[in-house]
Amino acid sequence: RKEVEQDPGPFNVPEGATVAFNCTYSNSASQSFFWYRQDCRKEPKLLMSVYSSGNEDGRFTAQLNRASQYISLLIRDSKLSDSATYLCVVNSGTYKYIFGTGTRLKVLA
């Protein structure tokens, strides 16, 4: 079983739609969680950290469920510019960031 698993997609959604991605992790000792965004042929960039209480940044909401060992990302009112690959990242409390393979999102006009 992979340490971090994501549905690769692609998720094709119309502009204005709400879309949600889940990511599961296998190490129950994992300490910190992030969502990164990666555009085609670009480096990953931090979208948001994921806190235990959940957090929101504009149209983006991240949730953590420790009992079920998953994190989620919700995007409301999707924009064309949201089209990208979204990477789930987990840190087990040491130094190593473990990346999921990413979920591709395409927002269609």
Partner 1 sequence: GAGVSQSPSNKVTEKGKDVELRCDPISGHTALYWYRQSLGQGLEFLIYFQGNSAPDKSGLPSDRFSAERTGGSVSTLTIQRTQQEDSAVYLCASSQAGAQYYEAFFGQGTRLTVV
Give the footprint of partner 1 on this chain (CB under 8 A). 31-32, 34, 42-46, 49, 87, 89, 91-102
| CB contact set of 96 (below 8 Å; sequence gap of 6+) | none
State both tokens at 1: 């079983």
CA Rg, the chain, in Å?
13
Given the complex with partner 1, which of 18 and 49 has the nearer CB atom? 49
Q: Pairing between strand 45-50 and 32-38?
A: antiparallel
Work out how close the CB of 81 gets to partner 1 at its nearest, in angstroms, rounded to a whole number: 20
Work out how close the CB of 96 gets to partner 1 at its nearest, in angstroms, rounded to a whole number: 6
Given the complex with partner 1, which of 42 and 79 has the nearer CB atom? 42
Given the complex with partner 1, which of 37 and 107 has the nearer CB atom? 37
Hey, is 95 helix, strand or coil?
Answer: coil
